[in-house]
Structure 1
Amino acid sequence: MCSSGGPMADIDLKKLKTKKYHCKDCGNSFKGLGKKVVCPSCQSDNVELAE
């Protein structure tokens, strides 16, 4: 039997350094991580860091 990819990573999401964002298009507030953050509700990249 063949498989692709490596072993599954066991990541504790609570320990990641997430930031709070606000979507300028739909108004959704959410936590994000990474360089290219997109809104999980509308998939827009028109987001800003929330204060």
Structure 2
Amino acid sequence: MCTVGGPMADIKMKKLKTKKYRCLDCDNEFKGIGRRVVCPSCQSDNVEEV
């Protein structure tokens, strides 16, 4: 079960096909999945795929 705005539970990120992203606002690099990826550090949606 997932919670809104919180960490995902019961999902192994290594088994999902994630992509690497970089936030253009705070320069954070992270892995994400989905159509609307948001930076976990600053919550910006101004991201690019690395």
TM-score by length of 1: 0.74
* Larger relative helix fraction: 1
Partner in structure 1 of residue 23 of structure 2: 23
Runs of 4+ in 1 over 6 A off after TM superposition: none
Aligned to 1:49: 49
CA distance in 1, matches of 2:46, 2:32: 13
How many residues align structurally? 42
What RMSD over aligned residues (CA atoms) do the two structures have, in Å?
1.5
The whole-number CA distance in structure 1 between the counterparts of 2:40 and 2:11 is: 20
TM normalised by structure 2 equals 0.76
List runs of 5+ in structure 2 lacking aligned partners: 1-8
Q: Percent identical across equivalent pairs?
A: 74
